[in-house]
Structure 1
Amino acid sequence: MATTRMLGSTLLLILLSTVVSELCNPQDKKVLLQIKKDLNNPYLLASWNPSTDCCKWYTVTCDPKTHRINSLTIFSSVPDTNFSAQIPPSVGLLPYLETLEFHKLPKLTGPLQPAIAKLTNLKFLRISWTNLSGPVPTFLARLTNLTFLDLSFNNLTGPIPEALSQLSNLDALHLDRNHLTGSIPPSFGSFKSNPDIFLSHNNLSGPIPASLGNLNLTQVDLSRNKLVGDASALFGLNKTVQIVDLSRNELSFNLSNVEFPASLTSLDLNHNKVYGKLPVGLTALNLQYLNVSYNRLCGEIPMGGELQSFDVYSYLHNKCLCGSPLPSCTSSSL
């Protein structure tokens, strides 16, 4: 009899310890299990076992004080044959999320779910390297706590919403490697946080808005689009920009009088229609990368700084550019 009571007490203690160790909020756990079901129970979520504490599940983290789910990062380095689904609308039922990531999931399809707009505590949103389609939705502008927005390497189409400039805390915007069309919104010049802007490998057209000159960007990549006109507003002695990639567009402006900030370390203008001369001011910069090939530049490459440290391929195929590392200038080439 005593042995039976002892066994019963032991089982009770085991059950109680299991309950005590379950830190995950029951509603959050229910939502996560629904997300797993909606994603067709992929192998990469195998740790999502209903009998275990969801705060210990792979790809999930909980707030150490409230134990509410604050991060959901679902990604895979190997294609998952069972992972063929859309983003579950149920992700909008995790109100304490600060980080949401779906990354390298080639069978994730469909549009961005409007339910994401409910996640007003989000700071980090990455949905990249998927087969996500449809437009970049305007409702993203409601996520005013976002500091990082990455929708790169998808199949998104249509224009870039002007409303994204309302994201006043944004540090980085990645919309590169999609099929976006239309122009860069002039409203981007009103970003309050000077985010790094990556819009490369799209089908954007029209001019670079002069309003971008209002910003003090650190990095900007607008390469491989169909942009035209003047890009000089991105530069200036008072700027702090470090990396600028405008390559493979149809930009046409006079480089001769452009003033570059001392912070600039990388400049790529290749395959455009930029004309004029290389400014002497470039010699004062600590450039680590420079490519002005395939343009319409003329005159002698200024001596000094890092300009002679780059090989001929940084300067080839210009109208009449000459001087080291290109062949020496002659009277006919100046």
Structure 2
Amino acid sequence: MKRLKMVYNALTGTIKLGDLPEKMENLDISGNQLTGSLDLDALPGAMRYVGLGDNKFTGEISLDHLPEGLRSLYISKNRLCGTVGFRSLPQTLDSLELATNSFEGSLDLTRLPASLETLHVFNNGFSGTVDISHIPPSLQRLIASTNKLTGTVRVPPGVNCSFNGNEDLTVEII
């Protein structure tokens, strides 16, 4: 099996990502009632698209050992927490959606993959200053609204981004 799509079916229970077939490329089980933790390090090496959003997954995650060919990771709208590292993402990744969880810590966007087009990190608890001077030219949409970001973020021309709802953040268009 290379593809599994079972979205919005009210599925319950847990999933062990390490038990998926090694040749699986696409997994979309978004919009269910799935619980438990997510060991993203255990994803099959052939995985290209992962949709785990809009469930009830809990705990911390690591983005440090994702499959090298992964293009899209959607884990928004869960109950995930902890800090998130963005420095070891696959160079093929074009969409990363982590919105509406309880992630915290700094938002280091200085080493994003050159292929990244979409980054959604809104409705979390990311804090501190954010530097977007090194975001890849491919990034078309950055939404970091409703976090706890502070300081001043300087937005280059042509970058589509939103930082609304960060009370102590000033946005300058340069």
The TM tier, using the shorter chain, reads: 0.7 to 0.9
In structure 2, give the amino acid aligned to 1:174: D
- Residues 236 and 258, structure 1, Cα contact 8 Å, conserved in 2: no
Shift of residue 237, structure 1, vs aligned partner: 6.9
Q: Is the 8 A contact 1:267 1:290 kept in 2?
A: yes
> Which residue identity does 1:207 align to in structure 2?
E
- Would you say the 8 A contact 1:230–1:251 is kept in 2? yes
**Which residue of 298, 303, 313 maps to 2:150?**
298
Q: Which residue of 1 aligns with 2:54?
A: 201
Equivalent residue number for residue 324 of structure 1: 172
CA positional deviation for 1:323: 2.5
- Report the number of matched residues: 172
Q: d(CA) in 1 for partners of 2:90 and 2:40? A: 21
Alignment partner of 2:163 out of 315, 320, 331:
315
Shift of 1:229: 1.0
Q: Please report the TM-score for the alignment, with normalisation by the length of structure 2.
A: 0.87
- The residue that corresponds to 2:13 in the other structure is 158
Structure 1 runs not aligned, ≥5 long: 1-145, 329-334
Instruction: Report how far residue 257 of structure 1 moved.
Output: 6.0
Check 1:258–1:236 CA distance in 2 against 1; reply closer, same or farther (3 A cut).
farther
The CA distance in 2 between the partners of 1:252 and 1:230, in whole Å, is 5
Provide the rounded CA distance (Å) in 1 between the counterparts of 2:31 and 2:50. Answer: 13
Equivalent-residue separation in structure 2 for 1:257 and 1:287 (angstroms):
11
Amino acid at match of 1:266: T
Q: Calculate the TM-score normalised by the size of structure 1.
A: 0.47
Which aligned pairs between 1:128-147 and structure 2 lie closer than 5 A? 146-147=1-2
Residues 226 and 258 of structure 1: CA distance in aligned 2, closer, same or farther (over 3 Å): farther
CA RMSD in angstroms comes to 2.3
Whole-angstrom distance in 2 between the partners of 1:261 and 1:180: 30
For the pair 1:262 / 2:117, whether they are aligned, the reply is no
Paired residues for 1:1-334 under 5 Å: 146-165=1-20, 167-185=21-39, 188-189=42-43, 191-210=44-63, 213-216=65-68, 217-233=70-86, 235-236=87-88, 239-256=91-108, 258-279=110-131, 280-282=133-135, 284-304=136-156, 306-307=158-159, 309-310=160-161, 314-324=162-172
8 Å contact kept, 1:293–1:316: yes
Distance 1:203 1:238, change over 3 A: closer
Q: Which string of whole-angstrom CA distances, capped at 9 and with x for unpartnered residues, describes residues 103-133 of structure 1?
A: xxxxxxxxxxxxxxxxxxxxxxxxxxxxxxx
Contact map agreement 1:175 1:199 (CA 8 A) in 2: yes
- The CA deviation at 1:290 is 1.5
Q: What letter matches 1:151 in structure 2? A: M
* Structure 2 equivalent of residue 131 of structure 1: none
Which of the two has higher C-alpha Rg?
1
Deviations 1:38-88 (A, max 9, x none): xxxxxxxxxxxxxxxxxxxxxxxxxxxxxxxxxxxxxxxxxxxxxxxxxxx
Displacement after TM superposition at 1:302 (Å): 2.4
Q: 1:220 to 1:162 in 2, by over 3 A?
A: closer
| Percent of aligned positions that are identical | 25
Whose helix fraction is larger, Structure 1's or Structure 2's?
Answer: 1
Structure with bigger strand share is: 2
